[in-house]
A and B are shown apart, each in its own frame.
Chain A
Amino acid sequence: MLAKRIIPCLDIKDGQTVKGTNFVNLRQAGDPVELGRAYSEQGADELVYLDITASHEGRKTFTDLVKRIAAHINIPFTVGGGINELSDVDRLLNAGADKVSINSSAIRNPNLVDEIAKHFGSQVCVVAIDAKQTGDDWKCYLHGGRIETDKNLFEWAKEVNNRGAGEILFTSMDHDGVKNGYANQALSILAERLTIPVIASGGAGRMEHFRDAFITGKADAALAASVFHFGEIKIPELKHYLCKQGINVRL
Chain B
Amino acid sequence: MNKNRIYVHTVRKDIRIKKRKLLKHNCYLLKRMKIAVIKYNAGNIYSVDHALRRLGIEASITSDKEELMSADKVIFPGVGEAGSTMNFLRKHQLDKVIKDLKQPVLGICLGMQLMCRFSEEGNAHCMGIFDTDVKMLRPTRHEDKVPHMGWNTLTHVRSSLFKGFTKDEFVYFVHSFYVPLNEFTAAQTDYILPYSSALHKDNFYATQFHPEKSGTAGERILKNFLEL
Contacts and interface: CB of A to CB of B under 8 A. Distances in A.
Interface of A: 1-3, 5, 40, 45, 70-72, 74-76, 93-94, 96, 98, 120-124, 166-167, 191-192, 194-197, 218, 220-221, 250-251
- Interface of A (DSSP majority class): loop
Contacts of B175: 123
24 contacts: A1-B153, A2-B152, A3-B150, A3-B151, A45-B150, A45-B151, A71-B50, A74-B213, A74-B219, A75-B213, A76-B174, A76-B210, A76-B213, A93-B44, A98-B44, A98-B47, A121-B80, A121-B81, A166-B149, A167-B149, A195-B142, A195-B146, A220-B145, A221-B150
B151 A2 contact: yes
B139 interface: yes
B54 A74 contact: yes
B213 A197 contact: no
A120 B145 CA distance: 19
Of residues A2, A123, A218, which shows the largest number of chain B Cβ atoms within 10 Å of its Cβ?
A2
B174 A123 contact: yes
Given A196-B146, A250-B170, A121 B152 contact: no
A57 B221 CA distance: 40
Contacts of A194: 145
A160 to B, nearest CB: 14
Interface string B23-44: 0000000000000000000011
A165 B216 CA distance: 29
Contact of A70 (B47, B152, B168): B47
Interface string B138-181: 01001101111111110000000000000010101011100000
B47 A96 contact: yes
B150 to A, nearest CB: 5
A197 B150 contact: yes
Contact of B149 (A40, A72, A197): A197
A75 B147 CA distance: 18
B97 interface: no
Interface in B81-119: 81
B56 interface: no
Nearest to A194: B145
B43 A196 contact: no
Contacts of B122: none
A76 to B, nearest CB: 5
A123 B175 CA distance: 8
B129 interface: no
Contacts of B168: 251
Max chain B Cβ within 10 angstroms of own Cβ: one of A93, A167, A250: A250
B43 A124 contact: yes
B178 to A, nearest CB: 13
A217 B179 CA distance: 31
Given A3-B170, A74-B218, 20 more contacts: A1-B190, A2-B152, A72-B54, A75-B172, A93-B43, A94-B46, A96-B47, A121-B80, A122-B176, A123-B149, A123-B175, A124-B79, A194-B145, A196-B147, A197-B147, A197-B149, A220-B145, A220-B149, A250-B170, A251-B168
A96 B46 contact: yes
A251 B168 CA distance: 8
A72 B215 CA distance: 11
Contacts of A167: 149
Contacts of A121: 43, 79-81
Nearest to A4: B150
A3 B214 CA distance: 13
A44 to B, nearest CB: 10
**8 cross-chain pairs, A with B, having the tightest CB-CB distances, nearest first:** A250-B170, A3-B151, A250-B151, A123-B174, A197-B145, A76-B213, A2-B152, A71-B50
A36 to B, nearest CB: 13
A1 B152 contact: yes
B191 interface: yes
**Which of A3, A72, A121, A194 is the most central at the interface, judged by chain B CB atoms within 10 Å of its CB?**
A121
A75 B151 CA distance: 10
B57 interface: no
Residue with the greatest number of chain A CB neighbours at <10 A, chosen from B81, B149, B210: B149
